[in-house]
Amino acid sequence: MPYLDDFRAEIEAFLTRTGISPTRLGKEAVGDPRFVFDLREKGRAPGARLMDAVADFMARHETPATARTSLGEAPLEGKTILLIISGGIAAYKVLDLIRRLGERGARVCPVMTRTAQEFLTPLSVGTLAGGKVFIDLFDRDDEHDVGHIRLAREADVIVVAPATADLLAKMAGGHANDLATAVLLATDKPVLAAPAMNPRMWLHPATRRNVEALGRDGIRFVGPNTGEMAEANEAGPGRMAEPLEILAAIARILVPSGMPLTGKHVLVTSGPTHEPIDPVRYLANRSSGRQGHAIAAAAAAAGARVTLVSGPVAVADPDGVDVIHVETAREMRDAVVAALPADVAVMAAAVADWRVANEASGKIKKNSSGGSPALALVENPDILATIGKHETLRPTLVVGFAAETDDLASNARKKLEAKGADWILANDVSPGTGIMGGEENVIRLVTAAGIEDWPRLAKTEVAQRLIARVGEMLRHKSEAAE
């Protein structure tokens, strides 16, 4: 069950982040010390209530510091988010969303539809949200106050997650036969929907029509993502966006101009490329993708729309970023060019300089006479130069890296010129520096104006510093143009 993979991955990430043992999680969350081990070994899906209890435990035990990621850090202090939860398997992810909203200072006011309560208990939702959960149109306590009108009025934004096909249809039709739909009809606040449904339902002409109509009504959407579905052998668009993606979309609505890269498109390459020799072998390098992925995440956190073109890496896709996975340099070049126009391009990939001239269609066998195969190499396209010298779609700012072992500054200057880049982040990748594949980086920023030495920093800090510089540069440029 694919959603189970998500759930398992979340548990593993939680255990790594917090250092809590699997036995403790199982024992304290669901009274079964073997719960995590069984989940790992047997792969059987636990019931919704057990998943709910585990998600609840994780939410309670994650400290704000460990839970925070670089995305969606926008301050939501003092904002009220009316969260409408409708019924779907993705509802379990909403607990995480509530927790993250709370960490950022938002007040979450949950409304659950009747079917949502089959997936989550109002008790766990209310505990996380730290207040009342609204579940019924005719709530005795709120009736006199015309509760739905008050709810609709008090919110800064209304988020529908998961938004089922049925609820979208009701919204499009202007129904108001339960609290959720009544609130949605009574509001004049921005509404963000995170659809979650089977791909066939999402692609059905009726849903297409409803989504289109809702778009015209000003409803905004986050997701759905494409991937495996809860049902066996179902794949396609329909998976609810991840909590961090929803959070970033909320932040974009509530603090639209407070972020330095709002409205900008940032294109990033990352990781190595693999150049096939035959069907089982390839040429590659030691790039981990950490630096490029951190830059993509930092740009998204600064409000940019980000396209990340990544070679094969073991690091996870950053949340809130459009990721295009490629293998070879030529695929990377094509994906990068197809993603233009962009305001900023940061080419952090360690692209293989050469590929094998004649890739063998079958596995190359050892020769009985002991001879070894001669591999003729041809040069790969230079992606940074392609972008830096693009005649019509050159981004405003083109940034490259220079991985050097000798004559760092002069080689970086040459690359700046030769590839038409504005900035080069030069780093010493000599053996012993631990930079290639490591967690840290030592950067010399080379521009036409000179060289600036940065201290040894974590790759995430390099990314934040770079993105801050990018924001400043774009601001100066737009001020100068005014």
Considering the complex, what minimum distance in angstroms separates the CB of residue 398 from ligand CTP? 9
Considering the complex, what minimum distance in angstroms separates the CB of residue 242 from ligand CTP? 28
Among 246, 401, 470, 471, binds ligand CTP (CB under 6 A): 401
Angle at 440 between CA 436 and CA 441, to 5 degrees: 70
> Which residues from 268-287 bind ligand CTP, rule CB under 6 A?
269
Using DSSP's 3-state secondary structure scheme, residue 89 falls into helix
Q: Is position 329 an interface residue for ligand CTP (rule: CB under 6 A)?
A: yes
Considering the complex, what minimum distance in angstroms separates the CB of residue 377 from ligand CTP? 13
Measured distance CA(95)–CA(48) in Å, rounded:
13
Considering the complex, what minimum distance in angstroms separates the CB of residue 269 from ligand CTP? 6
Q: Name the residue among 179, 185, 254 with its Cα closest to residue 217.
A: 185
Stretch that binds ligand CTP, among 48-56, 170-178, 310-318, 400-408 (CB under 6 A): 400-408
Among 394, 415, 444, 459, binds ligand CTP (CB under 6 A): 415
Q: Name the residue among 160, 162, 159 with its Cα closest to residue 91.
A: 162
Among 349, 356, 398, 435, binds ligand CTP (CB under 6 A): 349
Q: Name the residue among 354, 353, 326, 321 with its Cα closest to residue 338.
A: 326
* 167/351 with CB nearer ligand CTP: 351
Q: Is position 380 an interface residue for ligand CTP (rule: CB under 6 A)?
A: yes
Question: How many angstroms from the chain centroid is the CA of residue 189?
Answer: 26
List, in order, residues 6 or more apart from 112 with CB less than 8 Å away. Answer: 85, 120, 122, 125, 133, 134, 135
Considering the complex, what minimum distance in angstroms separates the CB of residue 357 from ligand CTP? 16
Using DSSP's 3-state secondary structure scheme, residue 371 falls into coil
* 102/289 with CB nearer ligand CTP: 289
* 61/389 with CB nearer ligand CTP: 389
Stretch that binds ligand CTP, among 12-20, 210-218, 234-242, 349-357 (CB under 6 A): 349-357
Q: Which residues is 239 bridged to in the sheet? A: 225
Q: Is position 400 an interface residue for ligand CTP (rule: CB under 6 A)?
A: yes
Asked if 285 is an active-site residue, the reply is yes
Active-site annotation holder among 285, 380, 427, 441: 285
Amino acid at 31: G
Q: Is position 264 an interface residue for ligand CTP (rule: CB under 6 A)?
A: no
Stretch that binds ligand CTP, among 128-136, 138-146, 366-374, 382-390 (CB under 6 A): 382-390
* 181/328 with CB nearer ligand CTP: 328
Place of tokens 């069950």: 1
Q: Is position 347 an interface residue for ligand CTP (rule: CB under 6 A)?
A: yes
Neighbours of 356 (CB within 10 A): 18
Q: Are 9 and 29 in contact (CB under 8 A)?
A: no
Q: Are 25 and 15 in contact (CB under 8 A)?
A: yes
Among 353, 359, 440, 461, binds ligand CTP (CB under 6 A): 353
Q: Is position 459 an interface residue for ligand CTP (rule: CB under 6 A)?
A: no
Q: Is position 443 an interface residue for ligand CTP (rule: CB under 6 A)?
A: no
Q: What is the CA radius of gyration of the chain?
A: 25
Neighbours of 301 (CB within 10 A): 27
Stretch that binds ligand CTP, among 141-149, 166-174, 317-325, 348-356 (CB under 6 A): 348-356
* 194/346 with CB nearer ligand CTP: 346
Measure Cα distances from 173 to 117, 187, 353 in Å: 24, 15, 56
Considering the complex, what minimum distance in angstroms separates the CB of residue 403 from ligand CTP? 4
Q: What are phi and psi of 308, to 5 degrees?
A: -110, 120
Question: How many angstroms from the chain centroid is the CA of residue 429?
Answer: 28
Among 228, 343, 382, 422, binds ligand CTP (CB under 6 A): 382
Stretch that binds ligand CTP, among 65-73, 140-148, 234-242, 396-404 (CB under 6 A): 396-404
Q: Do the strands 191-195 and 265-270 form a parallel or antiparallel pair, or are they unpaired?
A: unpaired
Considering the complex, what minimum distance in angstroms separates the CB of residue 348 from ligand CTP? 6
The DSSP call for residue 328 is S
Q: Are 111 and 82 in contact (CB under 8 A)?
A: yes
Considering the complex, what minimum distance in angstroms separates the CB of residue 400 from ligand CTP? 3
Q: What are phi and psi of 257, to 5 degrees?
A: -110, 5
Q: Name the residue among 11, 9, 4 with its Cα closest to residue 45.
A: 4
Q: Is position 388 an interface residue for ligand CTP (rule: CB under 6 A)?
A: no
Note the residues at the interface with ligand CTP (CB under 6 A): 269, 329, 347, 349, 351, 353, 380, 382-384, 400-403, 415
Residues with catalytic roles: 285
